[in-house]
Amino acid sequence: MPGPKKVDYSDKILEVTQTNYEFLLKKLWDPDEQEAQALRDQLITTRNEAQLRALLATLKIEVEPSTKLMIVDVVGARTNSFVTNAGTEDFYVLVLPPKPRRHPGNDRYKEMQGWMTAHYHAVNDSYGM
């Protein structure tokens, strides 16, 4: 059935959670705001699905070749989608969450938000981060 789809990580939840955590804390929520913004911009502005797929692979984010891609950047309220018909295609939505802001400067809080978000993406069966 077409619709939101993601790799079943059941047999490697710990590995995928760790990978997601590193993506969030070391790339997306990077202490260097310019590098983090550059990655968000790159994910949103890549206009070729093969290039986007290759970029996701460098971040260790698995997506089946037959599954269309969509990126949603919550911070910038932007999207990048290669889905042409959601009613007939399988698609993967990667939601890029904002850096935690509730407790600025509290590294433990940011770390726990990272683990929670990383685990959610590993166990959720439709979309995430």
Measure the CA–CA gap between 111 and 104, rounded to whole angstroms: 12
pLDDT band at 9 (very low <50, low <70, confident <90, very high): confident
Nearest to 27 by CA among 96, 76, 92: 96
Measure the CA–CA gap between 105 and 64, rounded to whole angstroms: 38
pLDDT (tens digit per residue) in 69-108 = 999 999 999 999 999 999 999 999 999 999 999 998 899 9
Q: Model-level pTM?
A: 0.89
pLDDT band at 127 (very low <50, low <70, confident <90, very high): low
